[in-house]
Chain A
Amino acid sequence: MTSVAKTMDRPVTSSWASIRNDLVAYAFMAPYLVLFILFLLLPAIVGVYASFTKWGIIGEPQWVGLRNYDKLINSEIFIESLQNTLYFVILAAIPLIVLGFLLALLVHQKLRFRNIARAIVFLPHVVSVAAVGIIFQWILERSSGLLNYYLGVLGVNPPINWLGEPESAMPAIAITTIWWTVNGNMIIYLAGLQDIPEELYESARIDGANGWQLTRHITIPMLLPISAFVIPLTVIACWRVFGQVFVMTRGGPQGATFTVAQFIYETAFVRFNMGLASAAGVILMLITLGFTVVQLRAMKVI
Chain B
Amino acid sequence: MSQSWRNDSLFRDGSLNRGRLVLYAILIFVAIVWGAPFIWMFVTSIKPDTEVFRYPPTWWPEQPTLEFYTRLFDSFPMLAWFRNSLIVAVITTTLTLVTNVLAGYPLARMRFRGRRIVLLIILSTFLLPGEILLVPLFLGMVNFKLANTYFSIAVPPAANAFGVFLMTQFFLTIPVELEEAGRLDGCSRLGLLWRIFIPLSGPAIATVAIFTFVRSWNDFFWPLVISNTDATRTVPVGLAIFVGRGLSMRFGVIMASAAAATIPAVIFFLMLQRYFVRGISTTGLRG
Contacts and interface: CB of A to CB of B under 8 A. Distances in A.
30 contacts: A2-B172, A5-B108, A24-B106, A25-B115, A26-B106, A28-B193, A29-B118, A33-B103, A35-B155, A47-B133, A106-B26, A109-B11, A111-B20, A111-B24, A123-B38, A124-B34, A127-B218, A127-B265, A128-B235, A130-B237, A130-B243, A135-B255, A144-B54, A196-B1, A236-B127, A240-B130, A240-B131, A284-B129, A284-B131, A288-B127
B8 to A, nearest CB: 5
A134 B108 contact: no
Given A21-B110, A21-B112, A25-B112, A32 B102 contact: yes
A44 B102 contact: no
A126 B37 contact: no
B55 A144 contact: yes
A60 B164 CA distance: 36
A218 to B, nearest CB: 9
Interface in B88-144: 95, 98-100, 102-103, 105-115, 118-119, 121-122, 125-140, 142
Contacts of B100: 32
A243 B237 CA distance: 10
A128 B239 contact: yes
A205 to B, nearest CB: 6
Nearest to B98: A31
Interface residues of B, number: 125
A43 B226 CA distance: 15
A237 interface: yes
A210 B261 contact: no
Given A111-B23, A187-B281, A211-B10, A25 B110 contact: yes
Contacts of A21: 110-112
B133 A232 contact: no
A50 B281 contact: no
A31 B97 CA distance: 11
Contacts of A4: 108-111, 115
B269 A198 contact: no
A41 interface: yes
Interface of B: 1-8, 10-11, 13, 20, 23-24, 26-27, 30-31, 33-38, 40-41, 44, 52-57, 95, 98-100, 102-103, 105-115, 118-119, 121-122, 125-140, 142, 155-156, 158-161, 164, 168-169, 171-172, 174, 176, 179-180, 189, 193, 214, 217-218, 220-221, 224-225, 235-240, 243-244, 247, 251, 254-255, 257-258, 261-262, 265-266, 268-270, 273, 276-277, 280-281, 284-287
B189 to A, nearest CB: 6
Contacts of B128: 40, 44, 285
Interface stretch (A72-80, A86-94, A165-173, A273-281): A273-281
A233 interface: yes
Interface of A: 2-9, 12, 21-22, 24-26, 28-29, 31-33, 35-36, 38-44, 46-48, 50, 55, 57, 103, 106-111, 113-114, 116-117, 119-131, 133-139, 141, 143-144, 146, 149, 179, 181, 184, 187-188, 190-191, 193, 196, 198, 201-202, 205, 210-211, 214, 219, 229-230, 232-233, 236-237, 239-240, 242-243, 246-248, 260-261, 264-265, 268-269, 274, 277-278, 281-282, 284-285, 288-289, 292
A54 to B, nearest CB: 13
A5 B112 contact: no
Given A2-B119, A106-B23, A29 B106 contact: yes
A187 B286 CA distance: 11
Contact of A130 (B8, B118, B235): B235
Which of B27, B54, B217 has most chain A Cβ within 10 Å? Answer: B27
Q: Which 4 A-B pairs have the closest CB atoms?
A: A201-B4, A191-B281, A130-B239, A32-B103
A110 B6 contact: yes
A57 B140 CA distance: 10
A128 B109 contact: no
Contacts of B220: 128-130, 242-243, 246
Given A117-B31, A284-B129, 15 more contacts: A8-B109, A25-B106, A28-B105, A31-B98, A36-B161, A39-B137, A55-B139, A124-B34, A131-B261, A134-B239, A141-B247, A146-B36, A247-B240, A247-B244, A292-B127
